[in-house]
Amino acid sequence: MKIQKWILVTLVFCQKMPSGAGEEKTVKDGDWVDLACAPNTGATLVIWLRVLGTGMEFIASFTKDGYLKSSTPSSESTFSDSMRGGILRLKSFDRTRDSGAYSCASLVSNKLEFGQVTRLVGVEVAVEAPQPTAPNQCPTAAPCACNNKEKMEPGETRPRGLCSLGILGALAGGCGLLLLLLIVSTVYCNREFTSYLKC
């Protein structure tokens, strides 16, 4: 823990980054990004940082084998928990939160050696505006119910699957006749049954 505090103090006051702009990547929100930074082969600790306008932000530190040593609570959900081949993965880019310059620093014999800088720039994805539809056309490719020859009110559609009144009338009449036959047979059978019992 003392080494990390010493490293952070050194970073705040020294802030020696390699010269040159480094690599710049344009990234869309939600994409994952691999941040590459080859640490020194003799490093005992690799520290990942983000350069801010006022200083540097500590992301995480890893052992020379790529295992997570320490991180901030905010970076635990944002970055991968291991580093493979000098690559740290940002899981889901958010341009308001994650834009900036990233680099790693190797701790070799109590000296920090900074690696390559990667600058992430968020791009705004243009949302396509919906195309207006003509007033007499349906908005979908499905068959329109609005092209009937009969005059209908705007927005009114004819219900499908309903029977016409003639068919409904015939069905109701048939059901009524069956009900009447059921009542007559019940009364007749009841009379016959009671007269049978009297005998």
pLDDT per position as a tens digit, 72-98: 888 888 898 888 888 889 999 998 888
Residue 129 pLDDT > 70: no
pLDDT in tens, 36-84: 887 777 788 888 888 877 778 899 998 888 888 898 888 888 898 888 8
Listed in sequence order, the residues at least 6 apart from 122 whose beta carbon sits closer than 8 Å to its beta carbon are 26, 27, 28, 29, 93, 94, 95, 96, 98, 99
Query: What pTM was estimated for this model as a whole?
Result: 0.53
Rg for the chain, CA atoms, rounded: 39
The CA-to-CA distance between both ends of the chain, in Å, stands at 111
How confident is the model at residue 14, as a pLDDT?
47
Domain boundaries, the chain: 2-123, 163-199
**Helix, strand or coil, per DSSP, at residue 33:** strand
pLDDT in tens, 145-184: 555 455 555 655 555 555 577 777 788 888 888 888 888 8
> Whole-number mean pLDDT of the chain?
75
Q: Where are the beta strands (DSSP E) in the chain?
A: 23-28, 33-36, 45-51, 56-63, 68-71, 87-90, 100-108, 111-114, 118-123
Fold exhibited by the domain 2-123: Immunoglobulin-like (2.60.40)
